[in-house]
Structure 1
Amino acid sequence: MATSPGSKNEKSELPVDQGWAWVIVVGQFVNVFLMVGLAKSMGIFMEAFKQYFDTTTALASMVMAAAAVVYAFVGPVCLLLGERFGVRPIVMFGGFIGCLGISLSSLLVTMDFVIIFFGIGFGIGNSTIYGNGLVMLGTYFIKRRTLANGLALSGSSIGQFAMPPIIQLLLNKFGLSGAVLLIGGLYFHITLFSSFFRPMSYYTSRLAKKQNGVGGEKMEKLLNENVPADQDGSVFPVGGHDNEDDGPVDKMDNDKRYTSYMASTGSICLTPVETLTPVETLPADANDKFTEPVIPKKQNFCTHLFDLSILRNYICIFNIIFGFFSFFGYFNFILFLPSHAISIGIMKYEMTWLVSACGIGDLCGRLFLGYFGDLNLIQRYKLETICLMSVGVNTLMFAFADRFWWMMIHSVFYGLFGGGYVCMTAVVLIDMIGLKLMPKMLAILLLVQGIGAALGQPFLGWIYDKTGSYQVVMFVCGSSCVGSAILLAFWPIVKRLEQRRQDRLTEMKFSQRQELIVD
């Protein structure tokens, strides 16, 4: 479509792929740095809480378990609130709540008090960050969206590298209460950097004013061509020429409008808006060959968040089971690594560098294995299977490693293959179920993964309390990853079973339509 020089000038004034868009990247980088860095370092705090309150490992692990439960249930809600009220106020509010909860927990009244304020406050704050921040990146970037997401989400790996020694330093200098209070103040930086999340409507309104009263039509045309139509850009058009780097999005129709959804791995997934509320069809007349569309009833809040109808799909059930056990083994292990290292005589500062080594490996894995997956030299689900199997094997080897250098080697490889597993998860999920079912699947998958993390930490803590050995914990986490990798290898069989089910449904619908025509 041809555009006038004036229209091109108007587009250049919008910070799409330029200018303030890179400030958005900085803001999301810092937010993810603090969110993931603190989450992956909670094992250090868990050991400190255990010693301070002289409590069980199961109870001390409930801090992160509470945060995981809140994240699982509140995360989808915060995405909807971001669409309704704007991303910036929601994320800023989440950062404030997280800061308040963590800071109040520094009073260290009881372990239950810490669980409530630290766990729930941290969970609410995290729920507002990830998805809403990615929506902002999707708003401000089109041609360079892949690069922007990669730079912003690299904050998770760098945060996992930097936060453990910082936390240990604070614990040594200021004690547990002072360290928690300072971490609460550090978390408040999420509120500060989220203030950078300026809505795109700020620029569109300024451009409209420059049109001297005749810019309404031009601005409407500009919005339809280049920028999000929603107040904060959660819904936006996708043009084929602007999506060179977006994988499956390349093949989408230019005249459709898409909404963005966040995967637990940090990937943005897009789906046509019209697929969110499907139109039901019912026969208007038995003599009519074609049916009349019927507008569905308005969905309630829970139905909008979690569409359980996808549980009839074998592939979706397969992904839910796989997602639960793979995340159970992968995520929970890192929380018990510090305690395991101390139990075999590793010094505290050396213990923190084990967690940091996982972060360095994670960054390398996301970059190199993610790039290798895009070369299509091997089917992506097979690559994810290899990565997850390697994660499981390295986790099992921690049960035998009794030297710092030996544990350091496995920490790097755990991070390397874990980063590959994480960056491949969302892409493989799209390959399996397609973009149409992705939004519905993601909401349930986030919930399942959150439950896996929430149940896993007190369960593994209970195992240690009963056995007195973290080696059993390593075996459980490693076996969970290995079992998930074996399960993923059976994906082609599940695909054939689902195809047969779809064929049966198609035959049944065809038979019913033929009966209606005959009648």
Structure 2
Amino acid sequence: MKHSCLLRPCLSTQISVKLVACMIICLVYMEGFQDKIPDGGYGWAIVVGAFSMVFTSYGTSVMQDYYERQIFGDIPNAQLQLSFVGTFALVFANLCGPLAQVLRSVWGTRIVLLIGTFLIAIGLIIAGFSNEIWHLYLTQGILFGTGVSLMYVTIMAVAPQYFDRKRGVALGIVASGSGIGGLVMPFIMTPLNRSLGAGWTFRVVGFICLGFDLLACILVKDRIKPAKERKKLGEIFRIDVLKDKNFCIWALGACVQLLGYFIPYFFLPSYATWAGLSDNDGSSLVAASSAANFVGRIVAGLLADRFGLVNVNSLFLLISGLSTLLIWTFAYDYGSLMAYAVIFGFFCGSYFSLVSPITLKILGMERFPSGLSLVLMTNVVSVFGPNISSAIDGSAGAEPFLAHKLFAGVAFVVSSIIMAWLKFSLDRKIFAKV
């Protein structure tokens, strides 16, 4: 009896230890389960919210032609001055990534999205009251561009948290929103222009953007809320990513490929007119290319999940460059131009689907927001691709638009080579999934 009494505390102690051990194991398991990337689930709601934001943030450039013909037609160099409205928007959309990071670290994701939403809406609504070109620089250019940057960079920092194996296709669907926006928004805005005028068109579109962007604010939220702690600026925006060789190669490739991206979309309608086609033919070329671009971005994401992000991007860039050099260079009729528009549109947009996944693959989740901001900042140089090709075309004395064709084609081919360099820097195996 004495021995049995002495054993009871020992047995109870052992049982207690085992229970505590089991609880610890369960907690560790549960924590690991919570941290496991769902690869879908609520992530698809994030995709819907991000798509709605990207969809409404593009396509407003259709207003430039209307202002040029109807409002500022008597101003010398109106076309040149108005072209800087879109340039300002693109510059601020790419430059304000670090600002988005800082604000998100201070106020959180939801507040930054709301700030971006109201900057976009206010920028477009106030643009409707513009009676000077510089008013458009401030509204449609700076306010709108800054709002797009705050929303895009914040959403792109959140969306990858929900996906792993399906990350490429998810972000491809998000990126395809701009292709659909470029296709659909002109068909909304042109009838509004004709019936209500430019002022009310901007106001109506501003409220449309407000509705879609508020949907994004409601749906988009962090899967794992960042800890609220005071951080130094250097810890929020990590410039040390520039010490990563692979990231620098990627940033260079991103800049070069976008140098050629905008040129066909800027000049295909003008080229069609020069070749003797009608205005409607030129518009249909851009519409067909935008539709193909929408499909191509999703396909790029699907293929990237299966064959590797860098591999697919390099292939798509090479086909974009070769189609520009070998088809557009010799295309003078509607059929050949339409073939080029569809092929180029399908392959040229892979960057927009893969910019976030490639940056994340190289840097990891912790340094990803800073890397994405820096890649977007390098894109500021790419905004001037059409201007550079125009300067070359004007001084070359060759056939009109030849410099545009060659410059765009070479930019895509060179960027494809840079992507191949990145692939072998990440993994020297030829058939590696990179």
Q: Same fold (TM over 0.5)?
A: yes
Deviation of 1:178 (Å): 4.2
Deviation of 1:464 (Å): 6.4
**Contact 2:253–2:419, Cα closer than 8 Å, also in 1:** yes
Structure-2 separation of matches of 1:420 and 1:338: 23
What residue number does 2:334 align with? 404
Structure-2 separation of matches of 1:185 and 1:344: 39
Of 288, 294, 304, the residue aligned with 1:373 is: 304
Corresponding letter in the other structure for 2:224: P
What residue number does 1:443 align with? 373
Structure-2 separation of matches of 1:310 and 1:324: 17
Corresponding letter in the other structure for 2:320: V
Of 317, 324, 327, the residue aligned with 1:388 is: 317
Render the CA deviation track for 1:176-219: whole Å, top value 9, x for unaligned. 4443343333322244323424757xxxxxxxxxxxxxxxxxxx
Q: How does 1:81-92 map to 2 (within 5 A)?
A: 81-92=103-114
**Contact 1:57–1:465, Cα closer than 8 Å, also in 2:** no
What residue number does 1:318 align with? 249
Structure-1 separation of matches of 2:424 and 2:168: 32
SS at match of 1:228: coil
Of 170, 195, 211, the residue aligned with 1:189 is: 211
**Contact 1:322–1:488, Cα closer than 8 Å, also in 2:** yes
Deviation of 1:463 (Å): 5.4
Structure-1 separation of matches of 2:68 and 2:132: 12
What residue number does 1:180 align with? 202
The answer to whether the aligner puts 1:337 opposite 2:355 as a matched pair is: no
Render the CA deviation track for 1:422-458: whole Å, top value 9, x for unaligned. 43454455566666765543332111013321x3354
Structure-2 separation of matches of 1:154 and 1:304: 29
Corresponding letter in the other structure for 1:406: S
Corresponding letter in the other structure for 1:100: I
Structure-2 separation of matches of 1:46 and 1:460: 20
What residue number does 2:134 align with? 112
What residue number does 1:416 align with? 346
Of 123, 127, 134, the residue aligned with 1:101 is: 123
- Decide whether aligned partners of structure 1 residues 409 and 448 sit closer, same or farther in structure 2, where only a CA change above 3 A counts: same
Of 401, 404, 413, the residue aligned with 1:482 is: 413
Deviation of 1:328 (Å): 1.4
- Decide whether aligned partners of structure 1 residues 198 and 331 sit closer, same or farther in structure 2, where only a CA change above 3 A counts: closer
Structure-1 separation of matches of 2:186 and 2:226: 39
Of 15, 28, 33, the residue aligned with 2:55 is: 33
**Contact 1:65–1:457, Cα closer than 8 Å, also in 2:** no
Structure-2 separation of matches of 1:302 and 1:351: 48
What residue number does 1:210 align with? none
**Contact 1:47–1:338, Cα closer than 8 Å, also in 2:** no
Per mean C-alpha deviation after superposition, the further-off stretch among 165-174 and 409-418 is 165-174
Deviation of 1:127 (Å): 1.0
SS at match of 2:96: helix
Render the CA deviation track for 1:357-377: whole Å, top value 9, x for unaligned. 22322233233343333333x
Deviation of 1:114 (Å): 1.7
**Contact 2:125–2:203, Cα closer than 8 Å, also in 1:** yes
Corresponding letter in the other structure for 1:392: G
What residue number does 2:237 align with? 305
The structure that is helix-richer by fraction is 2
**Contact 2:321–2:410, Cα closer than 8 Å, also in 1:** yes
**Contact 2:39–2:167, Cα closer than 8 Å, also in 1:** no
The answer to whether the aligner puts 1:161 opposite 2:179 as a matched pair is: no
Of 83, 87, 90, the residue aligned with 1:65 is: 87
**Contact 1:59–1:458, Cα closer than 8 Å, also in 2:** no
Per mean C-alpha deviation after superposition, the further-off stretch among 113-122 and 149-158 is 149-158
Structure-2 separation of matches of 1:405 and 1:435: 46
- Decide whether aligned partners of structure 1 residues 24 and 346 sit closer, same or farther in structure 2, where only a CA change above 3 A counts: same
Structure-2 separation of matches of 1:433 and 1:124: 25
**Contact 1:384–1:425, Cα closer than 8 Å, also in 2:** no
**Contact 1:165–1:349, Cα closer than 8 Å, also in 2:** no
**Contact 2:169–2:298, Cα closer than 8 Å, also in 1:** no
**Contact 1:58–1:460, Cα closer than 8 Å, also in 2:** no
Per mean C-alpha deviation after superposition, the further-off stretch among 388-397 and 343-352 is 343-352
Unaligned segments of structure 1, at least 5 residues: 201-226, 236-272, 274-297, 498-519
Q: Give the fraction of aligned pairs with identical amino acids, expressed as a percent.
A: 22
What residue number does 1:452 align with? 382
Deviation of 1:24 (Å): 4.4
Q: How does 1:253-332 map to 2 (within 5 A)?
A: 300-301=232-233, 304-307=236-239, 309-332=240-263
Unaligned segments of structure 2, at least 5 residues: 1-24, 429-434
What residue number does 1:215 align with? none
User: Please, what TM-score do these two structures have when normalized by structure 1?
Assistant: 0.63
How many residues end up aligned between the 2 structures? 391
The answer to whether the aligner puts 1:352 opposite 2:283 as a matched pair is: yes
